[in-house]
């Protein structure tokens, strides 16, 4: 079994088709980012804190250093609560000048 086949086997069945399409380059960049974010959070979008509050593992992602953070799915509610505009660029978020941006 190859490394890629092992990775595919580790993906929950309900996400496996999209994962295969992402690997084959058959998804839009936006859809491929969504698959990557699901992969990153262990394929579980929702979690609960110890006091029972529901957390959106992707929309509420706090890894601001991730190159996908500014374009991750389900981020709109999070950005609204932080007072950020939906079109805020990566360089604006990072506080750096110039750069090519993600180009998505
Ligand atoms: S934006 Fe967050 S959830 Fe998505 S890949 Fe980056 S760290 Fe993972």
**Residue 63 Cβ < 6 Å to ligand 1:** yes
**Residue 90 Cβ < 6 Å to ligand 1:** no
pLDDT on residue 100: 44
**Residue 41 Cβ < 6 Å to ligand 1:** yes
Give one word for 83, left, alpha or beta, with left for phi > 0 and alpha for psi -120 to 50.
Answer: left
Its pTM stands at: 0.76
> Which residue's CA is the closest to the ligand 1 atom numbered 3?
37
Q: Give the chain's length.
A: 104
Q: Is residue 31 part of a domain?
A: yes
> Which residue's CA is the closest to the ligand 1 atom numbered 1?
69
Cα gap 70→102, rounded to integer Å: 9
Handedness of CA 83, 50, 43, 67 (dihedral sign): positive
- Number of domains into which the chain is organized: 1
Task: State which residues of the chain have pLDDT below 50.
Answer: 85-104
List the domain range (segments joined by +) for residue 23. 3-94
pLDDT on residue 104: 39
pLDDT on residue 76: 82
Q: Is residue 85 part of a domain?
A: yes
Q: Is residue 25 part of a domain?
A: yes
């Amino acid at each position: 079994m190859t490394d890629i086949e092992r990775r595919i086997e580790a993906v929950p069945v309900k996400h496996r088709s999209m994962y295969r399409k992402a690997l084959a380059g058959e998804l839009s960049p936006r859809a491929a980012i969504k698959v990557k974010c699901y992969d990153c959070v262990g394929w579980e979008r929702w979690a609960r804190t110890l006091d029972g509050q529901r957390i959106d593992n992707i929309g509420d992602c706090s890894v601001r250093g991730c190159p996908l953070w500014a374009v991750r799915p389900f981020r709109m509610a999070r950005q609204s609560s932080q007072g950020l505009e939906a079109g805020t660029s990566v360089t604006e978020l990072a506080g750096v000048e110039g750069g090519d941006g993600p180009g998505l």
